[in-house]
Structures are given as C-alpha cells and as structure tokens.
Structure 1
C-alpha cells in the first residue's frame, strides 16, 4: 500500500480507471467505420453518358454481407440493374443506358470490416438525355438504400454513463452496505 493513500483516494483511482476504460471501449468501434474515398462517376461530376457500372471505393475491404446500392434518376426511378457486388474495397452495380438529363443519386449501404453498417449517397449529373428505359419507382423497391441501420454513437455514450454511474456507486457505497448489518 502506498503511504498517505486513503480509502477514498483508492476508490477515486478505481472509478477514474473504470471511466477511462469504458469511454475508450465506447469510442473505439465508433471510429473504425469504412469511409468512401472515391466513386465513378465522381461525386458532383457532370457526364454526357452514364457509366456501365456505378462504383464506390472505400478505404478498407468490405464484408460481402447484404450490400445495397441503387442509382435513382431525376425522375425518381431506378436506373441500376441487378444486384450490387462487393469486391474488396469496391461496391458496384450495373447501370443500363440512362434516361432524362439531371441529377442521379447513388445510394449505398455496406458492412464495414468491423461489422458496422455504413450508408450514404453520392451523386452525378447527366448533361445529355439518353434513351434508356427506367426501372420501377425507387420507393417501390423499399427505399434508396441508405437508412442508417448501424448502432448510433449515443448508445455507446449512454452505456458508458450507466457503467460509470454503477462503478461510482459501488466504489462509494458498496463496501459500506455490509458494515451496517455486522455492527449491530
């Protein structure tokens, strides 16, 4: 035992250590999600002819579990064809010949290497109308591919506060609970 250390000092050190460990564990998974590094067409680009495949590249390999990617035109219809494919760090979906000129949205949802779901949207503008045939309306397919099914960060923060509060209560009052019964 260190000289001059009181019971309260040891309890404070224990609680502080528990807090640091809890907050470190909560912050770790939240910071490890995959991030988009590029797309084809590039986000915000203007193209005269649409691509054969729309592609989004991430900073790390993706899990192939349940990817989603759609290309939705300015008319609200799907222009992507078939199922999306994950290949390492890349997510892509086939795109037929596009139709009306205007902004096209590439919505995506993937599973990061750490198991968390990441979703978002990129977009490009078609400057010259094509002759393609659209698919069904985007909302008929269950949305546009990005609704945020991952665990929000606030859940980790609330968990950390609850764990900290429980540890603090135990450290401050836990050892005193048994003393009252034995002293009578």
Structure 2
C-alpha cells in the first residue's frame, strides 16, 4: 500500500513540475500582420500592424521596413495595445519585395525578432518637400522614434515572472513531494 502512495506522490510532483514549467517556455509568436506575409500590394501601406499570441512590449528597434534597393521607409512612433503593435510608415523606393523586420519583448522578458516579406507593385515615392520648414518637420519624428521605444519598454512592462522563478517553484514542489512521500512511507511501516 505504501508503494502505491509513493507512486502517487511522485506522479503528482512530476505533474506539478510540468505544469509550472510550461509558462517559462512561452515566447510571443507572430500570428498575423498587415500587410500579410507574402502579400502583393498595389500601393504601399500607410501603416503596418503586427499581431502576436500574447501581449508584448517594444524592443530597441521595434519596426523597420527596407526595400529591394536598401531604401528604408520612414517609420513613425510605434504603439502597443496588448498583443498588437501598430506603426505609421511613409514609403519610398521602387516596386519590389520589402522586408518588415520587428523586435518585441515577450511577457517573460525575452526579445523576439522576425520578418514579414511582402511585395509592392507600384513605385513608392515619399511626399515632396518644398520648404526648409517642412524638411525640419519631417526630421523631428525620426529623432523621437529612437527615444520612444526605450520609454515604451519601461512603462509598458507588465511585470511577468522570469523563467528562473518558474524553475525554482518546480524544484520546491518536487522537494515537497519527495518529503511527503518519505513521511507517508515511514507512517505506512509503523
């Protein structure tokens, strides 16, 4: 009878380890985008949107878009609403294949990077600037774009537990299970 109890305690302890360790391995994954991966667009988009399977925060370079000739699109300040990252873009460059590269931070604190490739069939020309004032206005958002991700990272942190906490919890649960099994084993013999 005590062998059956010991086996039950070990089974429950093992189950506790598996259940508590699962969240530590979970990273954000891209589940959708606009433009979609492999999409062909007649005109360049005015914004890009990335949807993940869990809430994320912005990485150091949250969104960049580059074209076939190496031209980079101007990306405005990205915003995060739970699992959705949205960024306004100003397209420039020839028709062809474009890469939207993203960097976000999972709930567990790990950086997640990836790319979405899409095609634009029309030439993307940025709006013409006619005065120095307009050119200065165009450059100002680029300076704030680099500062915004760091601010977003520190204020949007959801306080998720790091992976080592989950592993430590699993080890403690296993130790408690072994202690209970040994105690039950001694009680069964007495």
2:29 paired with 1:14: no
Using the size of structure 2 for normalisation, the TM-score is 0.56
Using the size of structure 1 for normalisation, the TM-score is 0.57
Contact persistence 1:52–1:94 (CA under 8 A): yes
1:108 and 1:65 map into 2 onto residues whose CA distance is: 9
Alignment match, 2:33 = 39
1:107 and 1:82 map into 2 onto residues whose CA distance is: 14
Residue 27 of structure 1 deviates from its aligned partner by 1.9
Alignment match, 1:85 = 79
Residue 55 of structure 1 deviates from its aligned partner by 1.5
Alignment match, 1:55 = 49
Query: Which structure 1 segments of 5+ residues have no match?
Result: 134-140, 142-154, 176-184
Residue 126 of structure 1 deviates from its aligned partner by 1.2
Query: Which structure 2 segments of 5+ residues have no match?
Result: 128-145, 147-162, 184-190
Q: Which has the higher helix share?
A: 2
Q: Tell me: higher relative CO, structure 1 or 2? Use CA pairs within 8 A at least 6 residues apart.
A: 2
Contact persistence 2:71–2:92 (CA under 8 A): no
Residue 76 of structure 1 deviates from its aligned partner by 3.4
Contact persistence 1:69–1:107 (CA under 8 A): yes
Contact persistence 2:56–2:83 (CA under 8 A): no
**How many residue pairs were aligned?**
144
Contact persistence 2:98–2:120 (CA under 8 A): yes
Residue 92 of structure 1 deviates from its aligned partner by 1.9
> CA RMSD, aligned part only?
4.0
